[in-house]
Amino acid sequence: MDPETAFTYSNLSGRPPGPIVSALAKVSSGVRSVQEQVEPYAHAWQEHNRGAVGEVAAGRPWWAVLGDSMSQGIGASAHDRGWVGRLAPQVGLPSVNLSFNGARIADVLERQLPAMEDLAAQHRSPAALVTLMIGNNDMISRRWRREIPRAMRDLLLRIPRGTVVATQPAAHGAALTVNEAIDEIAATGRIQVAEFRVPHMRSWRGWVAADRFHPNDEGYAAMAEVMAGAVAGPWS
């Protein structure tokens, strides 16, 4: 590969699974089977990204995907059966997926955004579309929950203007804190909102994978529909 188009970004966090996931994986075959997707899906996106970067280098507008396991498609029957893969034909842009399993708000700030910015600077081509879906892993941990208001606001002020940001579907607890930050910045016109606080996204019956946390193919199909309503642009 031409060194000018080489892209070595890893879609793995570099961290071991958290203690809760590790404990559940020992006793639940469903959790274990979904966790076994993490490495192969990451490698599949890394291979996908290398091809997409070649198109970026050739001058094509591109889509930057920021986020966690939901943007990796964890829980789906294949990495490209998640919402990103399902939405890709409609968007019609080469996608560079910088998400990774276990990502928190701080990971987007410290690792994913710099990778996106470096790629844009290298090829003098800012992403034409940026999507962000983050916050689930911050909400799980008491330690990270305390940081959500500040961290989320810092992130939303750092991402490119016009980024499409997904809200949390839940209407309680830490999800409200995430959504409050999104609503505050959205009110300034700085970001676009993919609104998951709609009635049909509140019940996930039949939409979850074997670990009872990540979406399955049907769940991701519903997520793709919500995202599709927010990303319509000149590329569609």
- Dump pLDDT digits (tens) for 30-81: 999 999 999 999 999 999 999 999 999 999 999 999 999 999 999 999 999 9
Cα 42 to Cα 23: distance, rounded to the nearest angstrom:
22
Specify whether the backbone of 160 is left (phi greater than 0), alpha (psi in -120 to 50) or beta. Answer: beta
The string of pLDDT tens digits covering residues 152-177 is 999 999 999 999 999 999 988 999 99
Calpha distance 101→177 (Å, rounded): 22
Q: Which of 5-9, 115-119, 155-159 has the lowest mean pLDDT?
A: 5-9
CA 134 to chain CA mean position, Å = 6
User: How wide is the angle at C-alpha 111 spanned by C-alphas 156 and 52, nearest 5°?
Assistant: 95
Kindly list the structural domains of the chain, giving each domain's residue range(s) and its CATH number in brackets, ordered by start. 19-231 (3.40.50.1110)
- Look at the pTM and tell me if it is higher than 0.85: yes
- Look up residue 178 and give its amino acid: V
